[in-house]
Chains A and B, each alone.
Chain A
Amino acid sequence: MRSLDTNKPKTRLSNSNLLFMIAGIIFVLMYGFALISYPGSFMQFQTFFDLFNFNAALFIVTLGLCVVMIGGGIDISVGAVCGLVTMACAMLLESGMGNVWGALLLALGIGLAFGLMHGYLIAYLEIQPFIITLAGMFLAQGMLTTLHKEPLNVTMPAFVGLRNFKIEIPWLGTVNRLGVFIPCEIKPGVIVVVVLVLLYAVLMKWSRFGRNLYAVGGNRQSARMLGINVKKTIFFSYVICGLTAGISGFVFLMTTGAGNIGNGALFEMKAIASNVMGGILLNGGVGNLLGAPIGTLTLLTINELIRAAGVQSNFQAIVSGLLLYLFIVLQSIVMSLRGRRKFRLTLPPWLKPHQY
């Protein structure tokens, strides 16, 4: 058996995995730093879960954008679509005409409609994705403000029940000052996030669509030569992104319980930043889907750290920008060193397993 192992051909680490590893290492370092410097808050498991609880929608938006970015495109309408879905669902629930399932269907429908529009225009009419999704963003924002301007709180009992629904983890938790054990709580949105991450990871790693998408993102011309239906692949990537944006809108509504004009604002920029931190390049063809949640976690941890440090609110944006800068420069240096073959990710000889 041992001889079999050593005969295995050595495969060079792909760019996707290298960037993903960098992202993972940086996240671990960042969280470790947070644990050491602010043990009071970061030592509690609830803090970690709260990153998911309150930002489930951002995680989902990032996932959808990641699929498009791997295909070499971009979708900047995701935040606006997310906001539109929250308002439309809130209005449907408040009008008393629909139940929670109806709202979910509405959310999926809006997302699908935007995805189909973007996909058709970009893939089959070959229009630049930035402009089309910019138009989609304007359309969603315009529809949102036309629908309703004031914040709309959903008071429907079934939905409020869903909003307040929490899953307690009995074996994890903290003991407060009075000695009462408080179990950790997660919200249903987190389960949606986990399910979607697993689903998309499987989709991108093992399905034909996923492999086609990597090929198309890497080089469109050679993908066509290989017999891949490029247009169909790009079309489906945008449809998936739109659907995901719809789901994220519903999850957003489940978290906050109110439709508001500001919902989902700047999500597209945050999602792009998270994806870049997760090692997914805007050029396309490079990136591991699991990098998307890792990148989002890194971004959120940075924000939490800055908040815990008590930095003035104006410096917060600057510090997070600086960290993004350091991150991007680090990524680029590693990639260029790798390109010059000066840097190889192999174990040093004294660490290698003894060869027979």
Chain B
Amino acid sequence: MTRLKTRFNNLSHLFLPLSVLVILIIINLIKGADYFSITMVNGAFYGNIPNILFGASELVILSIGMTLVTAASRGQDISIGESGAISSALFVQYVLNAGEVTLSTILVGFLISCVAGLIIGAFNGTLVSFFNVQPMVATLILFLGGRSIAFIIDGKVSPILANEISNRIGTVIPGVPIPTPIILTAVFIAIVAVVLKTTNLRLYVEAVGINPSAARLNGINPKKIIFLTFLLMGVCSAVAGFIAVNKAGRHDSVNLLKFIMMDAILAVALGGNSLGGGKFSITGSMIGAYTIEVLNRTLLRLEVEPEAIKAFKAVFIVVLMVVASPVVRVFVRKVLDKAKTLVARYSVRQTGGLNKAAVSITDTTGKEGE
């Protein structure tokens, strides 16, 4: 029982994002009971759940990287959309110039875009870790100039990626019922989970985020760790750019992954992570990312006018953050404790068989929960 309780306490940071997700799903179920229905169309699953998983794939990958960057460097990377655009532009150019497109061409192109992501991550990471620039300011440089670099690599407005394999990566592989971006996301999440389980990355990142100088005294080089998180962020954005460009079938350097950094940061915050660094939960961020996608689709389903969607989203975020804020949480806990003691006293008085000592015992047990 106690083990179960400690386990529950370990998961308590996921309570908020999960409850929000549940509320959104309930709203959807009220709107139409067939929300969970999945049908087979042309040999692939089709329905709301696959659509959500499909639509949120880039955001989930980016929010994983953003969680690491936020935890280590106590700031946010706002150039992720731009770095995704640049790395995917290189991928598209390689594939278009390679002649015949085979699986190996796509793989080499993907590796090239990953290297580009690493270079961009190194650029940002150098500024943040070795020059001590705040992450938001350091990444502002690429945010302002990145799209132009992607356009110059493209050489023209939105080159089209018309080949069989890209199409399959963007949609479905014949014979496999699950859309490919979902599979890629799952593989990515699995890799991240294995890396976090088998290496000391989580411990080091949290140590650096909580107190860099204390981490340094314990033999961890905070600069190296921050640099490493930016490198990982670069890889994440390259993968996200790869998925996005294959989904779209063309490379639109202006609109590819536009303003996705706002959603990624939001996902990190919704997942119960502090934007001031320190302890982090990647599961929370992932749930946060899916919550954002569900929210967007719910607003569309409720037939909110497309112009007003952003305003509704804002109200939702504010309400959620107020509920999750430390002040409100402390207040609610106080009220709950008071209610608990009142109920306990009332029940004791009703049974009547106990004296005042029992009341004081219930009082103290009530206070232990604080």
Cβ–Cβ < 8 Å partners of B147 in chain A: 317
Cβ–Cβ < 8 Å partners of A5 in chain B: none
Whether A135 pairs with B314 at a CB distance below 8 angstroms is: yes
CB within 8 Å for A121 and B318 given contacts A142-B311, A143-B311, A317-B147: yes
Q: Which of A33-41, A125-133, A160-168, A210-218 sits within the interface? A: A125-133
CA distance A134 to B305 in the complex (A): 21
Q: Of A142, A273, A336, which one neighbours B307 at CB under 8 angstroms?
A: A142
Whether A282 pairs with B137 at a CB distance below 8 angstroms is: yes
Chain B 313-354 residues near chain A, CB threshold 8 A? 313-315, 317-318, 321-322, 325-328
In the complex, whether A17 has a CB less than 8 A from a CB of chain B is no
Whether B140 pairs with A272 at a CB distance below 8 angstroms is: yes
Q: How far is the CB of A23 from chain B (nearest CB, A)?
A: 14
Taken residue by residue from 308 to 326, chain A's Cβ proximity to chain B (1 for < 8 Å, 0 otherwise) reads as 0000001111101110110
Whether A134 pairs with B317 at a CB distance below 8 angstroms is: yes
Q: Which of A53-61, A287-295, A327-335, A346-354 sits within the interface? A: A327-335
In the complex, whether B143 has a CB less than 8 A from a CB of chain A is yes
Cβ–Cβ < 8 Å partners of B314 in chain A: 135-139, 142
Whether B275 pairs with A130 at a CB distance below 8 angstroms is: yes
Chain B 260-274 residues near chain A, CB threshold 8 A? 262, 265-266, 269, 274
Cβ–Cβ < 8 Å partners of A344 in chain B: none
In the complex, whether A205 has a CB less than 8 A from a CB of chain B is no
Q: Of A127, A283, A333, which one neighbours B131 at CB under 8 angstroms?
A: A333
Taken residue by residue from 68 to 83, chain A's Cβ proximity to chain B (1 for < 8 Å, 0 otherwise) reads as 0000001000000000
Q: How far is the CB of A147 from chain B (nearest CB, A)?
A: 9
Cβ–Cβ < 8 Å partners of B269 in chain A: 128, 130-131
Whether A281 pairs with B134 at a CB distance below 8 angstroms is: yes
Taken residue by residue from 283 to 294, chain B's Cβ proximity to chain A (1 for < 8 Å, 0 otherwise) reads as 000000000000
Whether B136 pairs with A282 at a CB distance below 8 angstroms is: yes
In the complex, whether B43 has a CB less than 8 A from a CB of chain A is no
In the complex, whether A145 has a CB less than 8 A from a CB of chain B is yes
In the complex, whether A156 has a CB less than 8 A from a CB of chain B is no
Q: Report, as a range, how many residues of chain A touch the other chain.
A: 35 or more
Q: How far is the CB of A48 from chain B (nearest CB, A)?
A: 24
Cβ–Cβ < 8 Å partners of A283 in chain B: 134
In the complex, whether A154 has a CB less than 8 A from a CB of chain B is no
Q: Which of B6-14, B27-35, B148-156, B232-240 sits within the interface? A: B148-156
In the complex, whether B26 has a CB less than 8 A from a CB of chain A is no
In the complex, whether B310 has a CB less than 8 A from a CB of chain A is yes
CB within 8 Å for A145 and B136 given contacts A125-B327, A126-B325: no
In the complex, whether A112 has a CB less than 8 A from a CB of chain B is no
Q: How far is the CB of B100 from chain A (nearest CB, A)?
A: 31
Q: Of A145, A315, A316, A322, which one neighbours B308 at CB under 8 angstroms?
A: A145
Q: How far is the CB of A168 from chain B (nearest CB, A)?
A: 36
Q: Of A142, A318, A325, which one neighbours B313 at CB under 8 angstroms?
A: A142
- Measured CB to CB, the nearest residue on chain B to A74 is B136
Whether B310 pairs with A328 at a CB distance below 8 angstroms is: no
CA distance A74 to B322 in the complex (A): 18
In the complex, whether B144 has a CB less than 8 A from a CB of chain A is yes
Q: Of B152, B274, B307, B322, which one neighbours A125 at CB under 8 angstroms?
A: B322
Cβ–Cβ < 8 Å partners of B266 in chain A: 131, 134
Whether A121 pairs with B321 at a CB distance below 8 angstroms is: yes
Taken residue by residue from 129 to 169, chain B's Cβ proximity to chain A (1 for < 8 Å, 0 otherwise) reads as 00111101110111111111101100000000000000000
Taken residue by residue from 263 to 282, chain A's Cβ proximity to chain B (1 for < 8 Å, 0 otherwise) reads as 00000010011001000011
Whether A329 pairs with B127 at a CB distance below 8 angstroms is: yes
Whether B144 pairs with A139 at a CB distance below 8 angstroms is: no
Cβ–Cβ < 8 Å partners of B149 in chain A: 318
CB within 8 Å for A142 and B308 given contacts A127-B325, A317-B144: yes
CA distance A42 to B193 in the complex (A): 58
Whether B137 pairs with A276 at a CB distance below 8 angstroms is: yes
Q: Of B140, B276, B305, B326, which one neighbours A269 at CB under 8 angstroms?
A: B140
Whether A128 pairs with B276 at a CB distance below 8 angstroms is: yes
Whether B133 pairs with A332 at a CB distance below 8 angstroms is: yes
Whether A328 pairs with B138 at a CB distance below 8 angstroms is: yes
In the complex, whether A146 has a CB less than 8 A from a CB of chain B is yes
Q: Give chain A's interface residues, CB within 8 Å of chain B.
A: 74, 117, 121, 124-128, 130-132, 134-139, 141-143, 145-146, 149, 269, 272-273, 276, 281-283, 314-318, 320-322, 324-325, 328-329, 332-333, 335-336
New A-B contacts (5) at CB < 8 Å, excluding given A318-B152, A332-B131: A141-B311, A316-B148, A318-B149, A322-B145, A335-B132
Q: Top 3 nearest A-B pairs by Cβ distance?
A: A142-B311, A321-B145, A142-B310
Identify 8 residue pairs between A and B in the complex whose beta-carbon atoms are under 8 Å apart, listed by A's number.
Answer: A126-B325, A126-B326, A138-B313, A138-B314, A141-B311, A149-B307, A317-B147, A324-B141
